[in-house]
């Protein structure tokens, strides 16, 4: 339900944000002392999250710098950053691998581009996990794996949030919030009227 | 008290800071080097460009490290750093000390630029930058990099540069209309025990100088000649460097042969801006419609640093 609240907050702008589901899952997994990078600045994860969390792409090099700082503090902190595909992303990937930084990058991509992105990231020796960017339940294991790996000092991971994967069946909603609602109702975690 | 040059003086300050428990991280950026994955070292060597290094260092600073970005290995970083800062969102700024070598001192909005003249001032500048809560840019003069002088071992001796130009709230294009504030006297470069918090400033950019008839006049041609020779460049190049302080589109007329008050190509009263180079002072007269006060101040301080004129700077605004 916490993820649903986060997702509801992140999608309240009404715009179709391809990284909203991944950001909601990541923010749910982060602990005190971790950092989330979205938009121009970093957000420290404390007891509560600020109202103005951004999910647009951050500067991956800045996120790498923050991860380097957390690595030197040696307190098990992790940085999760939303990022867009760019030369700066690949430069930060190379640096993060070389320094084994506790960094998880969320990159939105189309299904047609997954192979190209994966091959470039894996060529830099970075682990790359593709996941359905609209499905919270499908993002959860990938992000949990990546965050735990970073927290244990095993290096960075890139999560490819594919935004146009074919739906499982025609009844599956495309909207991440609606899809999560249907899962919560099906699994018995909530009644439909509670999710209005 | 020991004899040091600029590099060793700054290194000594950093070594002392690194020996104390704390969050100091020195990032040495060198494009052709390889990244050194020294696990928990206080020093890091990164193969980045200056703008990527700046982003990385700001990330470190935002995460709570006292970060020193060393750009001394990058040639011409001064010219490109201004653009990197201009493209930086306001929210990304964090306390940071940047060290670089340049003959021309850049004026970057929102950044305290400190241009120490000797090793003693270099040490004071780095001490100040490590204590400061703002972005400090220490610009070392490469011509004086190896000049040694006595540097006292006083941890409280600080060297503070001029007040930074207020940063724009959001990046603004160079051709955007600029509000023209009133003229303000150039602050004296005096050590301050503690940095004062910056007051909220209006969004102002230092330009533009396009279409400005700009001229430099030297009272003493021999003085200008000596400065050009010291820098290893021609008088024309020196003029161009001075002009670069005013913006690429400014028109510069350098007069070294005329005396004050003599008729010239553009009479001083008709020029939009006029810089007088004297033995012990620089005087800049400008018209408010052509140049903002902040642009005028940055031209004056930049040219003073370039010509190494003792800091007696006079700003005179014409209506």
Nearest to A95 among B35, B62, B63 (CB): B35
pLDDT for A195? 67
CB–CB of A65 and B56 under 8 A?
A: yes
Q: Are B162 and B189 in contact (CB under 8 A)?
A: yes
Q: Determine contact: A83 vs chain B, CB below 8 A.
A: no
Whole-number average pLDDT of chain A: 85
**pTM of full prediction above 0.90:** no
B180 CA: distance to closest CA in chain A (Å): 29
Task: For chain A, say whether B219 makes contact (Cβ under 8 Å).
Answer: no
CB contact under 8 A, B59 and A42: yes
The candidate with the shortest Cα–Cα distance to A151, out of A58, A96, A70, is: A70
Strand (E) or helix (H) holding B149: strand B149-151
**Does residue B23 belong to the interface with chain A, where contact is any CB pair within 8 Å?**
yes
Q: CATH fold of B213-318, please? A: Alpha-Beta Plaits (3.30.70)
**Domain layout of chain B by residue ranges:** 2-151, 213-318
B66 chain-A contacts, CB cut-off 8 A:
none
The pLDDT of residue B40 is 54
The fraction of chain B above a pLDDT of 90, given in percent, is 6
Within 8 A of B46 by CB-CB distance, chain A residues are: 95
Q: Per-residue confidence at A183, pLDDT binned at 50, 70, 90?
A: confident
Determine contact: B63 vs chain A, CB below 8 A: yes
Given this model, what pLDDT does residue B230 score? 62
Which CATH number does the domain B2-151 belong to among 3.40.50.720, 2.60.40.1170, 3.40.50.20, 3.40.50.970?
3.40.50.970
pLDDT, residue A94, reads: 92
pLDDT at A178: 79
Matching residue, tokens 């007051």 = B199
User: Which comes out higher in pLDDT, residue A108 or B77?
Assistant: A108
Work out the mean pLDDT of chain B and round it to a whole number. Answer: 67
CA distance A182 to A132: 16
Question: Are A40 and B92 in contact (CB < 8 Å)?
Answer: yes
Which of A38, A53, A59, A62 best probes binding to B when mutated, by most B CB atoms within 10 angstroms? A62
pLDDT at A154 (0 to 100): 92
pLDDT mean over B35-63: 80
pLDDT digits (tens, 9 = 90+) for A31-72: 888 999 988 878 888 767 777 778 888 999 999 999 999 998
**Where exactly are the structural domains of chain A?**
2-195
Band (A189; pLDDT cuts 50, 70, 90): confident
pLDDT tens, residue by residue, B262-290: 433 445 555 566 666 655 566 666 666 66
For the beta carbon of residue B179, count every other beta carbon within 10 angstroms. 10
Of B37, B57, B67, the CB nearest to A99: B37
State the CATH architecture for A2-195.
3-Layer(aba) Sandwich (3.40)
Q: CA A19 to CA A107: how far, in whole Å? A: 8
């Amino acid at each position: 339900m916490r993820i649903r609240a986060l997702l509801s907050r992140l999608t309240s702008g009404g715009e179709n944000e391809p990284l909203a589901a991944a950001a909601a899952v990541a923010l749910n997994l982060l602990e005190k002392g971790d950092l989330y990078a979205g938009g121009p600045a970093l957000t420290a994860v404390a007891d509560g999250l600020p109202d103005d969390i951004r999910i647009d792409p951050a500067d991956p090099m800045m996120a790498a710098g923050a991860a380097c700082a957390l690595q030197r503090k040696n307190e098990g902190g992790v940085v999760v950053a939303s990022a867009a595909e760019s030369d700066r992303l690949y430069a930060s990937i190379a640096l993060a691998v070389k320094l084994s930084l506790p960094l998880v990058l969320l990159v939105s991509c189309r299904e047609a581009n997954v192979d190209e992105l994966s091959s470039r990231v894996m060529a830099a020796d970075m682990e790359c996990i593709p996941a359905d960017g609209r499905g919270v339940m499908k993002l959860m294991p990938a992000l949990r794996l990546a965050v735990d790996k970073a927290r244990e000092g095993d290096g960075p991971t890139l999560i490819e949030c594919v935004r146009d994967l074919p739906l499982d069946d025609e009844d599956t909603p495309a909207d991440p919030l609606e899809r999560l609602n249907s899962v919560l109702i099906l699994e018995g975690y909530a009644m439909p009227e509670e999710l209005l | 008290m020991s004899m040091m040059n600029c590099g060793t003086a700054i290194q000594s300050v950093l070594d002392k800071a690194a020996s104390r428990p704390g969050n100091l991280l020195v990032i040495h950026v060198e494009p052709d080097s390889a990244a050194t994955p020294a696990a928990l070292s206080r020093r890091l060597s990164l193969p980045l460009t200056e703008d990527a290094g700046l982003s990385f260092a700001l990330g470190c600073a935002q995460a709570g490290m006292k970060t020193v970005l060393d750009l001394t290995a990058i040639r011409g970083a001064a010219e490109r750093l201004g653009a990197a800062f201009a493209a930086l969102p306001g929210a990304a700024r964090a306390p940071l000390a940047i060290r670089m070598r340049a003959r021309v001192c850049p004026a970057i909005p929102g950044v305290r630029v400190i241009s120490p003249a000797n090793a003693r001032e270099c040490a004071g500048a780095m001490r100040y930058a490590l204590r400061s809560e703002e972005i400090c840019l220490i610009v070392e003069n490469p011509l004086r990099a190896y000049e040694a002088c006595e540097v006292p071992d006083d941890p409280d001796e600080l060297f503070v540069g001029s007040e930074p130009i207020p940063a724009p709230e959001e990046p603004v294009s160079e051709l955007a209309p600029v509000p023209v504030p009133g003229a303000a006297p150039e602050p004296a470069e005096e050590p301050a025990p503690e940095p004062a918090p910056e007051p909220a400033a209006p969004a102002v950019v230092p330009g533009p100088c396009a279409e400005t008839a700009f001229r430099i006049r030297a009272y003493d041609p021999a003085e200008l000649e000596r400065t050009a020779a010291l820098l290893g460049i021609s008088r024309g190049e020196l003029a161009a460097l001075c002009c670069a302080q005013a913006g690429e589109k400014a028109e510069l007329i350098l007069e070294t042969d005329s005396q004050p008050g003599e008729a010239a190509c553009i009479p001083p009263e008709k020029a939009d801006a006029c810089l007088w180079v004297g033995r012990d002072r620089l005087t800049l007269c400008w018209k408010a419609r052509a140049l903002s006060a902040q642009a005028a101040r940055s031209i004056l301080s930049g040219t003073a640093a370039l010509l190494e004129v003792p800091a007696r700077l006079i700003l005179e605004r014409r209506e």
